[in-house]
Chain A
């Protein structure tokens, strides 16, 4: 693939004004698919969740999943949208092997939700309001695997394999209005906007909202217009941008690429481009104009929807606190510094910390454990931190530390035991015999042995050289296999040094 020429980002911004737009697909976590009763779940083998309807076989008849409509309305409301009084499905016709019906059941001129907005906050504190044009419902496509060829990509593949388990799974596609005035913040706006949509979907509970599993997917539209012009430039649509970092990188890349083309006297082709996570570049797909003739028409097999105003208001009452407001409230309640709080948010541990605090732990201790030791173990195991221990288990562990039963070092061992499934923290303390030795008798015996074993150190301590006690403390801690409270040992060492014969 030829490497495109890029213009320096700052230079590109001097010459051009970027205009953005985003289409974010949110996969709903209903139990069944959008139009049939096949399970909405993966991992149980290819093509295990299919039926005549989602395979587009003769005789298949779609039936609308009520829960999917409810989730779509709630998502629309959370985005500040109007919920349409009349809404209907439409067929979007095209041939592609991931779409068994040869059309996608989508919505065209009567989307379920329209005209909303959300306000996002950038790291600089700048507030940007993103207008939402519409949020419409549609069904997902199957999953293609390209075989043969050198790269595993669609180009050069010998053939492809299709698994239709995902075909027919409910999606909500959220389409923004044009975002102008983004300027240097354009890449960050992309990232922050997609993060906000993901956070809202997660807070509503309508989606698992895991980008790495494709529950939230972003297409980024970017165009440039020369400074001083008010004519919009030709846009490109970059697909397959499936992590927050990639959204940021893809927007930056397209600005730099388009600026280089335009400054060199070239023109931008209106086209779909593919984002390549590995190389950090976009490449041309088919020109957009060729694919735009979808011949939409109202889906004859599905009746229109007219969500009653009572139902919509009932659903409005189920909306959770907006995630941005919740973050502000929690940071104030916990008294975290910005960096501490960001650390929790970026690690996706807000829920975990909140639940741990609710279970009785201090906010700082909860933060320290989740973003420290637990995150470290989760990274090593390649799993999510909150899948390792429950907030209740962690709160119990923190309580044992606070009570002096465990040192931090012992607590880390107990944590490992809890993760290994050995029981509650208290049970692991018992079964592994990990409690701090608080029996002064045992400590004194070890201290006396250490002091008598190092008479020179004893002499120094008696001379008032208190720092010499370190050597004895070390020896005692070693003898106790770390299961002693170092501060208490130090206290006792000084006491015994004065009195020992």
Chain B
């Protein structure tokens, strides 16, 4: 069985700003543990000269030219914002008073 603990899952949930119930933490600890175990099995097969793969497609160097295309209008850009002030997004205080 893997080393994934409920504390790690709770920590990850905090970092990802996901509010998990104790029940969800228990079930995710189990699920993530199984995933880690499965990956460990693959690692047993992969030898040292098998490079880690991050992308399944055998493609590289897909670039675009440095040419300006029209942007959204300010109204479009701000249309989904919960709050705005003039042409800027307005967000709650970032730090508590120190």
* A and B interact physically: yes
List residues of chain A with CB under 8 Å of any chain B CB: 30-32, 36-39, 45-52, 55, 57, 63-69, 86, 88, 93, 95-97, 144-147, 154-164, 293, 295, 298, 300, 303-307
Taking CB atoms, residues of chain A closer than 8 Å to B64 are 37, 63-66
Establish whether residues B77 and A164, one from each chain, have CB atoms under 8 Å apart when the complex forms: yes
Establish whether residues A64 and B95, one from each chain, have CB atoms under 8 Å apart when the complex forms: no
Bound complex: CA A159 to CA B89 (Å): 11
Number of B residues contacting the other chain (C-beta, 8 Å)? 38
Taking CB atoms, residues of chain A closer than 8 Å to B7 are none
Known: A47-B77, A298-B55. A66 touches B88 (CB 8 A): no
Bound complex: CA A46 to CA B85 (Å): 11
User: Measured between C-beta atoms, what is the minimum distance from A449 to chain B in Å?
Assistant: 68
Bound complex: CA A279 to CA B93 (Å): 24
Taking CB atoms, residues of chain B closer than 8 Å to A30 are 66
Bound complex: CA A50 to CA B70 (Å): 9
Taking CB atoms, residues of chain A closer than 8 Å to B71 are 38-39, 48-51
Known: A67-B66, A304-B60. A161 touches B90 (CB 8 A): yes
Minimal Cβ-Cβ distance residue in B for A155: B98
With most chain A CB atoms within 10 A of its CB, the pick from B64, B74, B97 is B64
Minimal Cβ-Cβ distance residue in B for A145: B88
Bound complex: CA A69 to CA B62 (Å): 11
Bound complex: CA A274 to CA B61 (Å): 38
Taking CB atoms, residues of chain B closer than 8 Å to A49 are 71
Main secondary structure of the interface of B (DSSP, over half): loop
With most chain A CB atoms within 10 A of its CB, the pick from B54, B62, B80 is B54
Q: Which of B44-89 touch A at CB < 8 Å? A: 54-55, 57, 59-69, 71-72, 74, 77-78, 80, 85-89
Bound complex: CA A293 to CA B98 (Å): 23
B17 on interface, CB distance cutoff 8 Å: yes
Establish whether residues B62 and A303, one from each chain, have CB atoms under 8 Å apart when the complex forms: yes
User: Measured between C-beta atoms, what is the minimum distance from A172 to chain B in Å?
Assistant: 15
Establish whether residues A38 and B97, one from each chain, have CB atoms under 8 Å apart when the complex forms: no
User: Measured between C-beta atoms, what is the minimum distance from A212 to chain B in Å?
Assistant: 23
Establish whether residues B72 and A51, one from each chain, have CB atoms under 8 Å apart when the complex forms: yes
24 A–B contacts, CB within 8 A, in A order: A32-B69, A47-B74, A48-B87, A50-B77, A55-B72, A63-B63, A66-B63, A86-B60, A88-B54, A95-B17, A97-B91, A144-B94, A146-B94, A156-B97, A156-B98, A157-B93, A157-B94, A158-B93, A160-B92, A295-B15, A298-B55, A300-B54, A303-B55, A304-B60
User: Measured between C-beta atoms, what is the minimum distance from B90 to chain A in Å?
Assistant: 6
Establish whether residues B66 and A304, one from each chain, have CB atoms under 8 Å apart when the complex forms: no
Minimal Cβ-Cβ distance residue in A for B73: A48
Establish whether residues A161 and B67, one from each chain, have CB atoms under 8 Å apart when the complex forms: no
Taking CB atoms, residues of chain B closer than 8 Å to A46 are 74, 86-88
Given contacts A31-B67, A48-B74, 14 further A-B contacts (CB under 8 A): A45-B74, A47-B78, A50-B77, A51-B72, A63-B64, A65-B63, A97-B94, A156-B98, A162-B90, A163-B88, A300-B55, A303-B59, A304-B54, A306-B60
Bound complex: CA A159 to CA B93 (Å): 4
User: Measured between C-beta atoms, what is the minimum distance from A282 to chain B in Å?
Assistant: 15
Known: A154-B95, A160-B93, A298-B55. A50 touches B86 (CB 8 A): no
Taking CB atoms, residues of chain A closer than 8 Å to B85 are 147, 161
Bound complex: CA A162 to CA B92 (Å): 11
Establish whether residues B66 and A45, one from each chain, have CB atoms under 8 Å apart when the complex forms: no
Establish whether residues B60 and A303, one from each chain, have CB atoms under 8 Å apart when the complex forms: yes
Taking CB atoms, residues of chain B closer than 8 Å to A38 are 68-69, 71
Taking CB atoms, residues of chain B closer than 8 Å to A63 are 62-64
Minimal Cβ-Cβ distance residue in B for A35: B64
Taking CB atoms, residues of chain B closer than 8 Å to A67 are 65-66
Known: A64-B64, A69-B63. A162 touches B88 (CB 8 A): yes
User: Measured between C-beta atoms, what is the minimum distance from A204 to chain B in Å?
Assistant: 16
User: Measured between C-beta atoms, what is the minimum distance from A310 to chain B in Å?
Assistant: 12
Minimal Cβ-Cβ distance residue in A for B83: A159
Bound complex: CA A432 to CA B16 (Å): 70
